[in-house]
């Protein structure tokens, strides 16, 4: 079985509250908005982005 990367699959960002706790309500709101926009899937996990200065 092979997986075909097809369509839009954004990486969802991790949101935190003012107390540095995971903001599950905001994560759910973000996910719902992405699903309503018609995404094919999401990327969960850690993504390392090298900043360019």
DSSP string, 1-28: ------S--PBPPPPB-TTS-B-HHHHH
pLDDT at 53: 47
Does the reported pTM lie above 0.85? Answer: no
pLDDT at 49: 60
Residues in the chain, pLDDT under 50 = 53
Q: Which 3 state secondary structure label does DSSP give 26?
A: helix
pLDDT at 2: 85
pLDDT at 51: 59
């Amino acid at each position: 079985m092979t997986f075909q990367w097809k369509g839009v699959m954004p990486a969802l960002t991790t949101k935190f509250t003012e107390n540095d706790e995971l903001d599950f309500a905001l994560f759910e709101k973000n996910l719902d908005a992405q699903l309503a926009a018609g995404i094919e899937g999401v990327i969960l996990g850690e993504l390392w982005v090298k900043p360019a200065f």
